[in-house]
Structure 1
Amino acid sequence: MSEIKIVNLRKQFGDFVAVEDSSFTVEDGEFLALLGPSGCGKTTTLRMIAGLELPTSGKIYLDGEDVTFNRASARDIAFVFQLFALYPHMNVRRNIGFPLLSQGIAKAEIRARVEETAKLLRIDHILDRSVSGLAGGDRQRVALGRAIVRRPKCFLMDEPLGTLDAEFREVMVHELRELHNRIHATTVYVTHDQHEAMAMADKIAVMNHGVIEQFGTPQEIYNRPASMYVA
């Protein structure tokens, strides 16, 4: 896993500035939440880290390497979307193993890594089931499994619990944090839900109108808000 360093990152769409002069560092193995309402720039920031959007200016470093203008495929990053985007014609095993199959990895290794990942996520008992009949929480675990199985340098998650009902979300918040503790993954997690951010993150970046108003631990932000907006 790796450190992510963002330096003076800016993104402009025509006359609209989506992200303005953002700088922060996600340490190796740290869990960062980008927190703020819709339209504040958090997803645009995540997409720039992933390589799905190119910045107007600024730098992005992954493990010390300048990846600002690298393609997404060259960044060794796993992205988990809000909509799970599972392949409905494949079972759980084939969904999780698909990224490895695409890389040309041997079948025996794919099988071993899929089963190891499924055990980690506690879904090894449903490997041969169709994904189309799974409950929301299990579908989310399959989507996470597909990201984890690649063993990337870091994970980027864009409101991955947004489509789950309240009960499932509460369960998955705890499971995601436990999973993070087990695999020590560098993670950037986008959410508009302050309870999710406070429960999971080591650090939180509170965003408003494209600007990071405060960056710190949950305790620092809760006890010493930098502005009325953060409070």
Structure 2
Amino acid sequence: MSKTIYHKADTRGHANHGWLNSYHSFSFANYHNPERMNFGVLRVLNDDTVSGGMGFGKHPHRDMEIISIPLEGDLRHGDSMGSNGIIKIGEVQVMSAGTGVVHSEKNANSDKDVKFLQIWVIPKEQNVAPRYDQIRLAENEKPNDFQLIVSPDKEDEGVWIHQDAWFYLAKFDQGTVKEYTIKKEGNGVYVFILDGKAKIGDQILERRDGLGISETDAFKLEALEDFEILLMDVPMALPE
């Protein structure tokens, strides 16, 4: 029997700083919920909207895999490794903070918001050399199927991270039923609904709802209407 944990969209932590409107699926900054510290090694899932011309100034990170996925607008990135550029919709960025990195993220446009997901994954090893990577995803490569965007394998299509984790984006047409098989024993999956409406088991999921699924080998998703998801397959055990 699988184990599930349901996070309805409106139960997330919320911080509106004016220039930044952020929803936290897990404890972050001033939002602290002891029952929502993480899902396995998935430590942070922030759903951020940044006003035109605004952003996060230079700030440090270490020993964390940080993945950014733009949903709307353009995100400007800069870091102490010399990486500078703009991340657009259809692109995925990863930064392995490792021994330490300083970076900034800002809205590249002055006249419209940028919306993006920032995700932190606890790495399986500490003190790795910091690194940065960014890829453009192939559009409509896999209709009604899972498109790999993050994995532990440098040879895969997505960006790679220092953890046995696999992330997929997917768009499903209404009526589609699809089975997902968990990649590694001991892993669980956190499903985040970007848009639309779906069903997993007996649970109905709508826009920005999250569902953690563990202690199973596979599960089925059913599209109750056209929907888009981010699926994060991660180890449930924290590194020692």
| TM-score (ref. length: structure 2) | 0.30
